[in-house]
């Protein structure tokens, strides 16, 4: 009787968390290796290189693969500073020598005597350079020793902690200057500004830098599909969904694919979008440590912005306007000081937590971050934890408001008066300030004082064009007659008419605004023949359009549904979605 065969156990090829030491699961980064090959050798002296990037973007994996991508004259040695004690100068140089000796024997079959720690006690640099390196040069022949210092910011941390002398960096610089066959690559964290020791800055000043960020799309697609060949096939739609959720982030792509393989290998021959969606909760949970690190590393303003963005993009990782964040803050009873949100967005973009899509639009760089925030954080919790700081925000806003409001009101009234006067002089047309305008007089408008504007744009042009990036068929008709501004470029009146029409998912939308000359709530930026105007139509409606030499160049408008009254949209019993000018709008049920 033959024993019953046991089901074959499939080994998961994806690596979730550990650096890739083998080349089989390593994809992409050819741009990094090309940078190293091109820049490592200088005309007179070899260069120090610095690889930097966010946590878990694959810096250490790149260093492990370096030996397969360089000229044979280089002998790369990986020095992981996380594994060294770094408690003294003598200890550092002894551990450095020991690591080099061990890797030369293991990876290159080059034998050197084991360094003795006592020999480094008196003069560690001299012992390393004249004792250890001289033996290494003899064994290496004409080859170069490439020291790849991973987690190099630990040196900076230990210097600031008082465990290493700041002279450490001078000694390393001395090594590079007096050993033409000794090369250095430093790997550091995402923020170049994290280097605080002046001596470390001096060491890195002449270095050449290369960022390690997300994988390019072809490499990410290869990582998703190739390791699973022969076990299952991932549909094109599923590959697209994985790329959307991870943004081709190397670690999160590996993590998601690891979960897919663990659940479905040997169970299904083809994996689609449904299978990808089914493992997302598990992936978010498994990635919590790294996602929480991003959260913990964020300032209060950044945390507020992230939570508001996750609320606004509750259903999908859509692009969000900065003004939407401000409106949403008010719904939570919060107000941020001027430029606080803009500064937070800039920092989040610099850290690659958020991506700038176009102009003033932002979205999460990695959708898993949005999903984790939806699952693990709440704006109310942040209010409980940081109530006093958020109250201080409110106080700053309240102090600034009485100062800013009269100025804005004055600008608006001056804009209206100036524009009305100009139009009256130029075209024989007289306009009165609308009574509904904030700060407008209750009685008849005062007589306009003739003013000669510094800039007059006579457009007299209409155009119809599709709006790029729109969902469905969206067409805008824009007619602009005249734009006038004051000399400082702060005041603007526009006589214009425009229409946006869209058919999205079978729903017809028509948005119209007529003779806008009655609405002077506009601010102009003018430079060398270019006019950029921002329109505030009230109720949160805003827009921006630019003109150059009489031609409409670009434009977008964002209109919350309550403002869309010409003509009114039909009230329906379900949500409606529309994208106008690349801006996604949602018309809520019964809105």
Non-local (6+) Cβ contacts of 241 within 8 A are: 273, 276, 277
Token pair listed for 309? 């963005």
Q: Show me where the domains of the chain are located.
A: 30-211, 217-286, 290-385, 455-587
Token pair listed for 143? 């080859």
pLDDT at 204: 83
Asked if residue 528 has pLDDT above 60, the reply is: no
Q: What is the pLDDT of residues 326-382, one digit of tens each?
A: 888 888 888 888 788 889 999 999 889 999 887 678 999 999 999 999 999 998 898
pLDDT at 190: 61
Query: CA gyration radius for the chain?
Result: 31
Residue 99 belongs to what H/E stretch?
helix 89-108
Pairing of strands 551-558, 541-548: antiparallel
Average pLDDT, the chain: 71
Indicate the pLDDT class of residue 227, thresholds 50, 70 and 90.
very high
SS3 534: strand
Asked if residue 384 has pLDDT above 50, the reply is: yes
Beta bridge partners of 525: 532
Closest CA to 237 of 259, 270, 265: 270
Please check whether residue 255 is in contact with residue 278, taking contact to mean a CB–CB distance below 8 angstroms.
no
- Output 41 or 108, whichever has higher pLDDT: 108
Q: What is the pLDDT of residues 111-144, one digit of tens each?
A: 999 999 999 998 999 999 999 999 999 999 999 9
Q: What is the pLDDT of residues 273-313, one digit of tens each?
A: 999 999 999 999 999 999 999 999 999 999 999 999 999 88
pLDDT at 22: 81
Indicate the pLDDT class of residue 471, thresholds 50, 70 and 90.
very low
SS3 296: helix
Which CATH number applies to 290-385? Answer: 1.10.10.10
pLDDT at 339: 82
**Separation between Cα atoms, residue 48 and residue 184, nearest integer Å:** 5
User: What number is the average pLDDT over the span 214-219?
Assistant: 93
Phi, psi at 302, each rounded to 5°: -65, -40
SS3 86: coil
Q: In CATH, what class is 217-286? A: mainly alpha
Q: What is the pLDDT of residues 8-25, one digit of tens each?
A: 678 899 988 788 778 888
pLDDT at 322: 83
Non-local (6+) Cβ contacts of 123 within 8 A are: none
CA angle at 180 for the pair 177 and 181, rounded to the nearest 5°: 135
Q: What is the DSSP letter of 56?
A: T
Q: What is the pLDDT of residues 37-69, one digit of tens each?
A: 988 876 556 788 999 988 888 899 999 999 999
Query: Hey, which CATH number is domain 30-211, 3.90.79.10, 1.10.260.30, 3.90.1310.10, 3.40.50.300?
Result: 3.40.50.300
pLDDT at 561: 27
Going along 252-371, which residue ranges are E strands?
270-271, 320-321, 354-356, 361-364
Going from the C-alpha of 450 to that of each of 175, 211, 377, 453, the distances in angstroms are 74, 57, 57, 10
pTM: 0.66
**Separation between Cα atoms, residue 378 and residue 320, nearest integer Å:** 19
pLDDT at 591: 34
pLDDT at 488: 35
354-358, 485-489, 544-548 — most confident range: 354-358
């Amino acid at each position: 009787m033959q024993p019953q065969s046991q089901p074959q156990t499939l080994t998961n090829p994806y690596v979730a968390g550990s650096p890739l030491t083998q080349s089989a699961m390593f994809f992409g980064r050819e741009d990094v290796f090309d940078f190293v090959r091109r820049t490592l050798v200088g005309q007179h002296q070899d260069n120090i290189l610095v690889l930097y990037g966010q946590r878990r973007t694959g810096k250490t994996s790149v260093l492990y693969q370096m030996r397969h991508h360089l000229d044979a004259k280089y002998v790369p040695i990986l020095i992981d500073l996380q594994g060294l004690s770094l408690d003294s100068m003598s200890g550092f140089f002894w551990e450095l020598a020991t690591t080099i000796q061990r890797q030369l024997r293991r990876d290159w079959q080059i034998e050197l005597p084991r360094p003795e720690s006592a020999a480094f006690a008196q003069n560690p640099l001299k012992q390393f350079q004249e004792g250890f390196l001289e033996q290494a040069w003899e064994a290496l022949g004409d080859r170069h020793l490439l020291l790849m210092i991973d987690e190099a910011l630990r040196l900076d941390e230990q210097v600031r902690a008082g465990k290493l002398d700041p002279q450490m960096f001078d000694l390393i610089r001395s090594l590079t200057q007096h050993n033409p066959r000794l090369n250095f690559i430093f790997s550091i964290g995402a923020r170049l500004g994290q280097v605080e020791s002046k001596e470390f800055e001096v060491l890195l000043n002449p270095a050449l830098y290369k960022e390690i960020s997300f994988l390019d799309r072809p490499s990410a697609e290869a990582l998703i599909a190739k390791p699973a060949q022969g076990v299952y096939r991932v549909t094109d739609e599923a590959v697209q969904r994985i790329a959307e959720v991870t943004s081709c982030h190397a670690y999160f792509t590996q993590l998601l694919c690891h979960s897919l393989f663990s659940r479905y290998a040997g169970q299904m021959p083809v994996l689609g979008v449904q299978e990808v969606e089914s493992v997302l909760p598990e992936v978010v949970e498994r990635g919590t440590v790294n996602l929480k690190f991003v959260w913990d590393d964020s300032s209060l303003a950044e945390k507020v912005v992230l939570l508001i963005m996750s609320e606004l993009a509750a259903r999908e990782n859509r692009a969000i306007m900065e003004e939407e964040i401000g409106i949403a803050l008010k719904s939570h009873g919060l107000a941020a000081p001027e430029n606080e949100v803009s500064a937070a967005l800039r920092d989040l973009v610099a850290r690659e937590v958020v991506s700038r899509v176009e102009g003033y639009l932002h979205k999460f760089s990695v959708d898993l971050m949005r999903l984790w925030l939806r699952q693990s954080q709440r704006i109310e919790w942040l209010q409980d934890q940081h109530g006093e700081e958020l109250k201080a925000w409110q106080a700053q806003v309240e102090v600034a408001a009485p100062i800013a409001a009269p100025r804005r009101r004055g600008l608006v009234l001056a804009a209206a008066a100036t524009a009305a006067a100009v139009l009256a002089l130029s075209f024989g047309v007289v306009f009165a300030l609308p009574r509904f305008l904030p700060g407008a007089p209750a009685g008849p408008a005062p007589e306009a004082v003739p003013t000669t504007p510094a800039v007059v744009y006579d457009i007299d042009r209409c155009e119809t064009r599709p709006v790029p990036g729109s969902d469905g068929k969206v067409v805008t008709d824009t007619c602009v007659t005249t734009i006038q501004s004051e000399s400082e470029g702060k005041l603007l009146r526009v006589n214009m008419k425009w229409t946006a029409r869209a058919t999205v998912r079978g729903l017809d939308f028509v948005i119209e605004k007529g003779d806008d000359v009655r609405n002077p709530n506009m601010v102009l930026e003018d430079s060398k023949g270019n006019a950029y105007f921002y329109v505030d139509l009230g109720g949160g409606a805003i827009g921006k359009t630019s003109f150059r030499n009489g031609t409409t160049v670009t434009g977008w408008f964002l209109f919350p549904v309550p403002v869309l009254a010409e003509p009114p949209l039909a009230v329906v019993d379900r949500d409606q979605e529309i994208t106008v000018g690349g801006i996604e709008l949602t018309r809520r049920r019964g809105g």
